[in-house]
Amino acid sequence: MAVGTVLITGGTGYIGSFTSLALLQHGYKVVIVDSLYNSSKVSLDRIELLCGKRPEFHQVDITDEEGLNKVFAAHEDIDSVIHFAALKVCVLGHPRHASAHENTGCWRIRRDPLEYYRVNVGGTITLLRCMQKHNVHNIVFSSSATVYGDATRVPNMIPIPEHCPIGPTNPYGRTKSTIELIITDFIDAERNNAKKANKPFEQWNGALLRYFNPAGSHPSGIMGEDPLGVPFNLLPLLGQVATGQREKLLVFGEDYSSRDGTAIRDYIHVVDLAKGHLAALNHLRDAKPGVRAWNLGSGRGCTVFEMINAFSKVVGRPLKYEVVGRRAGDVLDLTANPARANEELGWKTELTLEDACEDLWRWVSNNPKGYRQEPPKELLEA
């Protein structure tokens, strides 16, 4: 029998697919809801190839209350939700918007913040209403280190602890910090309502997982990040330079006060990140902590130049780059203090930056078209 049934919104996406795999491998039953806005159903095949089990899948938009209610009604055993579905930061050029906008290198979020609020914030409210209606009490939410903004504005906040003041520097980050508040208010209210009705209140719990920079792919080389539009993040872009799909990487600024002038991030292997969700879910179910935030990061900072060097080493040749000006909204340093997650969730990163680079290279060099091609036979047979 399954140890529990988890609804995963956004479960065919990058982090969602790795988390679905981790949950299935640990005996959970997984029900995915995804609109396929930025993902494909092929990720379900890869999950099945890797663990022999296939998640249930429903193509539903999280802003569609009726559709979402039907999924909860069809799976009365759902006891928890992991909520990934969101519009994440991307540059204009996503195929769903290509007709409206050419890729100008601008962030879509800066042109279209209302759409981000509609989907991210509105979709979360719809999801919480459905959870309330169907008595599903645990939610693990994909937040982001981006909610901290420029942590160097406050003395002694690097590496960043969870009590660092929130201060996102872009509308995407503000959708995430707003959702954190909504989940906190919602669960507080449900706990109070339950108390007043003399019902068990401890059952309502929420984990706000603040991811630092997810990186890497599955070590098998058959599952990885496959964004439908123009990638926004450093590693997928470096992957495109390495496979010749992009001429060079643009380095956004070398005038930061870091050891080499480029900005510092805490890159976390997506397999470790997926395990963090499992740890958080188990903690909610066992310890019933109410709502709590946890940083999911390694605690090690890496500059852009260090990342280019690490990936070039794995690829075996130098990768072309050009230094340009800073990107609007970027900050100097986002390095996690992961002590709270280490102690309370019993979770820590196990894989290194080199592992992330090697796994990414295995993925992009063998699958230059991502999920739009069959993986090489030797990888399937390995």
Write out the residues near ligand WQD by the rule CB under 6 A.
88-89, 144, 146, 172-173, 213, 232-234, 237, 249-252, 263, 265, 304, 327, 330, 334
Please identify which residue in 62, 82, 238, 293 interacts with ligand NAD, judged by CB under 6 A: 62
Q: What are the catalytic residues?
A: 172
Distances (CA, A) of 104 to 89, 207, 245: 14, 36, 18
Please identify which residue in 20, 63, 217, 295 interacts with ligand NAD, judged by CB under 6 A: 63
CB 14 within 8 A of CB 84: no
Site for ligand NAD contains 21 (CB under 6 A): no
**CB nearer ligand NAD, residue 144 or residue 337:** 144
Q: Pick one of ligand WQD, ligand NAD, none as the site partner of residue 142 (Cβ within 5 to 8 A by kind).
A: ligand NAD
Nearest to 204 by CA among 293, 289, 294: 289
Site for ligand NAD contains 14 (CB under 6 A): yes
Distances (CA, A) of 259 to 268, 299, 303, 327: 21, 17, 8, 19
CB 284 within 8 A of CB 207: yes
Q: How far apart are CB 218 and ligand WQD at their closest, in Å?
A: 19
Site for ligand NAD contains 39 (CB under 6 A): yes
Site for ligand NAD contains 154 (CB under 6 A): no
Site for ligand NAD contains 335 (CB under 6 A): no
Amino acid at position 95, single letter: P
Q: Within positions 68 to 127, which residues make up the interface with ligand NAD, using CB under 6 A?
A: 84-88, 119, 123
Site for ligand NAD contains 38 (CB under 6 A): yes
Q: How far apart are CB 46 and ligand WQD at their closest, in Å?
A: 22
CB 138 within 8 A of CB 79: yes
Q: How far apart are CB 186 and ligand WQD at their closest, in Å?
A: 23
Number of residues that bind ligand NAD (CB under 6 A): 28
Q: Which two tokens stand for residue 289?
A: 């902590």
225 three-class SS? coil
Q: Pick one of ligand WQD, ligand NAD, none as the site partner of residue 85 (Cβ within 5 to 8 A by kind).
A: ligand NAD
- Report residue 302: phi and psi, to 5°: -140, 130
Site for ligand NAD contains 265 (CB under 6 A): no
CB 338 within 8 A of CB 296: yes
Please identify which residue in 4, 22, 61, 92 interacts with ligand NAD, judged by CB under 6 A: 61
CB 211 within 8 A of CB 273: yes
Residues 6+ apart with CB under 8 A from 48: 54
- β-bridge mates for residue 8, sequence order: 32, 82
Per DSSP bridges, beta strands 205-211 and 138-144 are parallel
Q: Of 59-67, 107-115, 248-256, 314-322, which part binds ligand NAD (CB under 6 A)?
A: 59-67
Distances (CA, A) of 113 to 89, 117, 174, 351: 11, 6, 10, 35
Q: Which residues bind ligand NAD (CB under 6 A)?
A: 9-10, 12-16, 34-39, 61-63, 84-88, 119, 123, 142, 144, 211, 214, 233
